[in-house]
Amino acid sequence: MNATDIPPQRTWSALWRPTATYYLLIIGIGMVAGIIGPALPFLAEQSNSTMSQIAILFAVRAMGNIIGSIVSGQLFDRFHGHRVLLGMITLAVISMVLLPASPLLWLMALTIFVLGFAEVSMNAGSNVMIMWWYRDQSGPMISGLHFCFGVGGMIVPLLVMLTISSAVSVIWAFWLVAIYLVLIGILLAPQGSPISPANDDHDYVEKVYDRWVFLGLVILFGLYVGMEITFVGWITTYGVLSGLSQADSAFLVSIFWFSLSVGRLLAIPILRRGHTTALIYSCLSLCAVVMLALYTNALPLTALAFITGLSMSAIFPTLFTLGNDLVSLNGRRTGLIFFGIGLGAMAAPTLAGSLIEKFGTKALPLWILLILAIMGIGLALIVLRQRRCSKFR
């Protein structure tokens, strides 16, 4: 993107600071999202709960995500975006301080509901802010944003392991993340917030809106995140049932997140050229090949986890770019997208568990293959419908 492509207030020299702040914030969001799993045994001990009882935290957090996605979308459209972000950062900091110190399971559940609400609101808000700053050139910046999310997801298990190995309470892992978020809030507070292009640009033309196209986008997002969470959530179990040790099987998740982050970084120059649909289909095709290899045991699981991460890496940020190309994304619509993401993240892994229990480990790659097929067909249908709507506008 050249400085001449956008008004002076949105040149690189003006945007580097808010962009860097959003990137740092999304690293924190990745840490918030990734800390519960590694810290689960500690939380169970802290609240004197069994592992089956403490698992309710995942469901409560998902409910916070779903409600937060709807509410925050409305807030970003109506109020100063950075003030909303600062409010959500404050909620997240309070929750991260209280959660590991809570002695009762119901209190943990209440706290993690608030944390889930704030987490998804910060995530949606960061995406909206980037799209409002960069407009039609936002694709590469969105990919960079989600690369940073993966970085946060990789950092936080190491932080938990460090506190354990140093004979320090895991509470400090939560509190260090809270301190990090406070510092990001201090960086964000004095900065001006972007304005929706619909209210700020006299030359702005609202893209043709078709509710079926938008519904298709929401479903695609839900399917993708459901597929991603399914793989991350079940590949460790798959590895154990396939004969790997518990440690080696758990390492498969780290390999996946590492390759996912690398892939999102590599996708940035591709997105600069605007080949969104072709990139998504390339990713879906590679992922399908990998799932076939997983089904036939054609490659070691470490290689399969790495290639799966690469194949999925560009789908999420590219879908955001495509969505903004097809339907002008405001706060409300972005919030609804994250609502679909929350539903997919709950439904797909749950169904996968039932299938694995009934049909064995081979059901995992077949389930993901089915999701890939639905995504491929759905993407073709919404692109065709949007072209038809534009033609007869």
* Structural domain boundaries in the chain: 8-192, 211-391
Q: What is the pLDDT of residue 95?
A: 95
Q: Which of 141-150, 368-377, 384-393 comes out lowest in average pLDDT?
A: 384-393
Instruction: With 0.85 as the threshold, say if the pTM is over it.
Output: no
Over the chain, what is the mean pLDDT?
Answer: 84
Does residue 141 register a pLDDT over 70?
Answer: yes
**Phi-psi label, residue 299: left if phi above 0, alpha if psi -120 to 50, beta otherwise:** beta
The residue type of 256 is F
pLDDT digits (tens, 9 = 90+) for 276-312: 888 999 999 999 999 999 999 999 999 999 999 999 9
pLDDT in tens, 37-96: 777 778 888 888 886 687 788 778 888 988 998 888 888 888 888 999 999 999 999 999
Mean pLDDT of the region 166-171: 78
Handedness of CA 378, 379, 382, 388 (dihedral sign): negative
Residue 5 has pLDDT above 60, yes or no: no
Q: What is the pLDDT of residue 262?
A: 87
Answer with the residue of higher pLDDT: 148 or 273: 148
Q: Tell me how crowded residue 175 is: count the other CB atoms within 10 A of its CB.
A: 17
> Quick one: CA torsion of 107, 108, 114, 117, rounded to 10 degrees?
-140
Integer-rounded Cα Rg, in Å, for the chain is: 21
pLDDT per residue as tens digits for the range 332-379: 787 888 888 888 888 888 788 888 888 888 999 999 999 999 999 999
| Statement: residue 393 has pLDDT above 50 | no
Tokens 């909303």 locate to 84
CA neighbor of 329 nearest in space, from 216, 209, 193 = 209
Q: Give the contacts of 334 (CB within 8 A, at least 6 positions apart).
A: 73, 76, 124, 127, 128, 131
Tokens encoding 5 = 């492509």
Give, in words, the CATH class of 8-192.
Answer: mainly alpha
Please check whether residue 156 is in contact with residue 30, taking contact to mean a CB–CB distance below 8 angstroms: yes
Indicate the pLDDT class of residue 3, thresholds 50, 70 and 90. Answer: very low
Q: Would 8-192 and 211-391 be classified into the same CATH topology?
A: yes
According to the model, what pLDDT value does residue 204 have? 52
Q: Is the predicted pLDDT of residue 209 greater than 60, yes or no?
A: yes
pLDDT at 100 over 60: yes
Cβ partners under 8 Å of residue 352, min gap 6: 230, 233, 234, 363, 364, 367
Q: Which CATH number fits domain 211-391: 3.40.50.720, 1.20.1250.20, 3.40.50.20, 3.40.50.300?
A: 1.20.1250.20
Q: What is the pLDDT of residue 203?
A: 52
pLDDT value at 122 more than 90: yes
CA distance 57 to 113: 8
DSSP 273: T
